[in-house]
Amino acid sequence: MTQHTVLLIEDDRFLVDIYTRYLREAGFEVRHASTGEEGFEGALKDPPDVIVLAIALPKKNGFEILEELKTHTQTKKIPVLMLTNLSAREDIERCLSSGACDYLIKSHHTVEEIVARVKKHFSTKK
C-alpha cells in the first residue's frame, strides 16, 4: 500500500511534534514547513497528497499561501485543510471560498479528530 504524504505547514513546534506523531501512527508520511513560503515551495517541489495549513505564520500567512496554492496549476487540486485558532465566520468563509476543503479550529478538535479529517480528504486528490 502506498503511503500518503501530508505537508504540515505550522510554526508551533509543540503542535508540529504532536500532529506529526499522530499522523505517522495513522500511516502517513509527514513533511513539515515552519513558514508559508517554505510550505509553498515544498508543495511545488514534491506535491503532497494533503496539506494541513495554519493561518498565523511568519512572513506570509495561511490566507496568502492558500490563495497561491489554489491558483498554481501544480498544487490547485491538492486538498488543503486549514488548522487554526481563528474562529470568526469571515475567516472560515474566506478560506472555504478560496478553495480549502476543511476548516478546523484547534481548540475545538482533538488530535484524533484532526487525523480522521485528514484521512477523509486524502482520497479526494485528483
- Chain centroid to Cα 41, Å, comes to 14
**In this structure, what are the phi and psi dihedrals at residue 108, rounded to the nearest 5 degrees?**
-100, -5
Angstrom CA distances, 15 to 12, 45, 110, stand at: 5, 24, 12
Torsion of CA 20, 25, 31, 35, to 10 degrees: -20
Give rounded-to-5 percent helix, strand, coil for the chain: 45, 20, 35
What pTM was computed for the model? 0.93
**Are 99 and 80 within 8 A, CB to CB?**
yes
Determine the pLDDT at residue 94. Answer: 96
Determine the pLDDT at residue 2. Answer: 63
Please identify every stretch of the chain with a pLDDT value under 70, giving residue numbers as ranges: 1-2, 122-126
Three-class SS state of 82: strand
Angle (nearest 5°) at CA 46 between 41 and 52: 70
Determine the pLDDT at residue 120. Answer: 87
